[in-house]
Amino acid sequence: MNSKAPHATQADVKPAPLPRSAYRVFRTITTRWMDNDVYGHVNNVVYYSWFDTAVNAYLIEQGVLDIHQGETIGLVVETQCNYFAPLAFPQTIEAGIRVAHRGTSSVRYEVGLFAKDEPMTAARGHFVHVYVNHGTRRPQPFNESFIKVLETLS
């Protein structure tokens, strides 16, 4: 029998809220009446929509993602969210974005959701996009302009 204590893995570490300083860029999101569920707070599935909205809107604004005529699209292959405090309508949400890892055609985006002016995340999570050719659905390496934008989030 091994007397050494086992090493803590990422799965063993209890998720905790993060401060605003953990994120590079922020986007404002306004809650809608329909976001609330019968329990009086934003339903958990809405958070994933906010992740997607915050990241994709930023990429579109930076000119590296064209969702209508571009040859490259991002497919979500993994997602996760941890919840720390309720959010509800009417409320303004501030989504912090950062890149945790970048491969040649994939990115792990991490997003923190903050109630307006609150110092710690109400929820935080991640999703992984694999960027593929729109027609073939095969991985497409990042071009230089996309890499530069991702570096601003790292």
- The domain spanning residue 125 has which CATH number? 3.10.129.10
Question: pTM (2 decimals)?
Answer: 0.89
pLDDT tens for each residue of 15-45: 999 999 999 999 999 999 999 999 999 999 9
Widest CA span in the chain: 61
Cα–Cα distance list, 10 to 14, 15, 97, 111 (Å)? 8, 9, 21, 18
pLDDT tens for each residue of 75-123: 999 999 999 999 999 999 999 999 999 999 999 999 999 999 999 999 9
Collapsing DSSP states into helix, strand and coil, what is residue 68?
coil
- For residue 38, give every residue at least 6 positions away whose Cβ sits within 8 Å of its Cβ, in sequence order, or none: none
Domain count, the chain: 1
Residue 6 covered by a domain: no
Residue 1 covered by a domain: no
Residue 66 covered by a domain: yes
The whole domain housing 57 covers 19-152
